[in-house]
Structure 1
């Protein structure tokens, strides 16, 4: 999920209406039943949210279906938010350690704020965490999902990453940014503008940006229409490096790897979205 005005404008107008009718569930990226709650999600709901394990599935379904009728993203329909994607990144231990030491973390396109809850569960001070999305109802559903409205001190904000006044109050105050399933929603030119915005937010040397998005094993750099009818940008190792080279404010060291596009919660794999041809890229960009 991502904070993405460009993606919102790709969707049918009725999806934007607060009184939206129920979104179509007869699509391959809507999984009617969750057959398995991933172990990490079971731990979070049990230990962080205090939800009895026998109530997990019903609770998750209730919140997921409310979110689906707001915006029917595949990551919602397929329960992909239960992966806690920042936690799956190899750089996560470093990120957690740095936040514990006082650094500030921003999850851009945070959806329910699931990665923020995982960080807090692992000992990160919640006041050092910021979650941003374009859809305020997702932020509200995050409080419902994790039952922490009265205890969590993280900052949750709405905003358009391409707007001139994006998060002006946080400029120069952020150390680490997570982009989970985010960059592929934009053209390369839009991503260049996003890099400029991120540079304004970041504190300086040793700043870190990491994330994941759809990618290709071939030549990257093209917008491809997926089964949902959305045009998504497919990076390669070369194009993700080229993106960070466009930043005129500093130099970046960029590493990336391709992995399978999969999730522990899925039953139907990715046959609905070109099968094994679709990969996922994990990347880390360090300002040097």
Structure 2
């Protein structure tokens, strides 16, 4: 079994200073935010800057406004639910989508940005730790609940057909990256056509990025 080293917390003192000048939206991102947040560009900007100022988990991707990037649709979060909302807007059945983050704070910030909630938003969001997904079937009974009744990732074992994971692997060392991959494999269905995809930092040579976040890229 792969050894797990959990993510080290980042203090607010280590966070990069926010810079509004980094706020630059591509045309597709602006079009999406106009459809989901507000038609007024100034209102969009202020809403995005407001949620960015939350420093509970000051990741570099928040500093760089990646939470409003349409990363999944560009694949050939720190997204705060942006990618899955774009997926639904593009026509994928929202009732078949589950979004998950370790930190409920990001889910709540996503609701603040898009002015919706789990009651209003047809996409179901949960906060859970992927390392709690068991690697065997001991003492676990997978219930095929409606997605809107899901509260843990373990309840999705064997049910996921398309699995996207973004900006996660590089937060952990190599052994823990293997542990993540093993748990993702538990979630996906065994039917033909299953896809696991994502977007992470990488390097031809495994190394650590020493920028206070200590990302491990391989």
- C-alpha contact (below 8 Å) 1:45/1:56 kept by paired residues: yes
Give the equivalent residue in structure 1 for 2:101: 133
Give the equivalent residue in structure 1 for 2:45: 57
- In 2: Cα distance, 1:54 partner to 1:167 partner: 37
Deviations 1:167-223 (A, max 9, x none): 22111110111121111112221122222211211001321111111112x33x34x
- In 2: Cα distance, 1:172 partner to 1:111 partner: 25
Kindly indicate whether residue 126 of structure 2 is the aligned counterpart of residue 157 of structure 1.
yes
**Structure 2, unaligned stretches of length 5 or more?**
135-151
- In 1: Cα distance, 2:23 partner to 2:181 partner: 39
- C-alpha contact (below 8 Å) 1:170/1:201 kept by paired residues: yes
Deviations 1:65-89 (A, max 9, x none): 12xx111111101111222211111
C-alpha displacement of 1:34: 4.3
Kindly indicate whether residue 213 of structure 2 is the aligned counterpart of residue 230 of structure 1.
yes
- In 2: Cα distance, 1:35 partner to 1:192 partner: 34
Mapping 1:21-32, distance limit 5 Å = 23-24=12-13, 27=16, 30-32=18-20
Please, which of 12, 21, 41 is the counterpart of residue 29 of structure 2? 41
- The count of aligned residue pairs is 196
C-alpha displacement of 1:27: 3.1
**Greater fraction strand:** 1
**Structure 1, unaligned stretches of length 5 or more?**
16-22, 91-108, 236-288
C-alpha displacement of 1:110: 5.7
Give the equivalent residue in structure 1 for 2:148: none
- C-alpha contact (below 8 Å) 1:34/1:57 kept by paired residues: no
